[in-house]
Amino acid sequence: MRPTALCLSLVALAACGSEDNVVTSGYAGAVISPVRSSLSAAVTFTDASGVPHPQWVIAMTDGPDLCTKVTAHADYFRTPIENFVGLIVWVPPGQVGTFFVGTKDTAGSEVNNEVLLGFGPPNPPQVVRLSGISALGANISLSQFNAGAGGEAVGNFDVLATDPTGQPREFFGKFKSTYCPGAEKMLLP
């Protein structure tokens, strides 16, 4: 085998690593690589009309110890205590399968996503939101969601979010997150 072919073979094998959480970003301003922390939780989301809806949520960030931070700061995704890049996906609770972004169930729970760029101290806390887009094929697949301490959520996603100029950007990957009881009270953006 030639050295170039050997190198390519080794790179291909290394790419088949065992990372359980991967986010591939279609926008250079929002890269989560590697995913250093992920969590799942059953939360209540209050929509713009003030109506609460139950949701299953999976959050992934480029920073460590997300569960500890969200447990101590329920408003972590609204008032950052540090700089971070995060991706949040959510689906109606009580179901596994493939969900298409933009759909809702009869209780008003929805399927959606959001990419967040958090800027914390020493600057004034700020979050730039890249909102999810419902488009043909944008989906979140969930094969497992166990609520409660020690539970896991497993699945993958292929979603779109708008960049600051309004252009759609693709984010895709997979997750295997640990349930975080403290995140049940987190305030979503």
| DSSP labels, 82-122 | S-EEEEEEEE-TT--EEEETT-B-TTS-B-EEEEEEEE-TT
% of the chain with per-residue pLDDT over 70: 90
Question: Is the distance from CB of 171 to CB of 26 less than 8 angstroms?
Answer: yes
- Residue where the block lists tokens 């359980």: 20
Q: pLDDT tier at 23 (50, 70, 90 boundaries)?
A: very high
Q: Tens of pLDDT along 134-189?
A: 987 899 999 999 998 889 999 999 999 999 999 999 999 999 999 999 999 999 87
Identify which has the larger pLDDT, 119 or 11: 119
Of the listed ranges 3-17, 48-62, 122-136, the least confidently predicted one is 3-17
What are the backbone dihedrals phi and psi of residue 52, each rounded to the nearest 5 degrees, phi first? -80, 145
- Residue where the block lists tokens 């209780």: 107
From residue 13, alpha-carbon distances to 6, 8, 16, 156 in Å are 11, 9, 5, 21
Confidence at residue 15, expressed as pLDDT on a 0 to 100 scale = 38
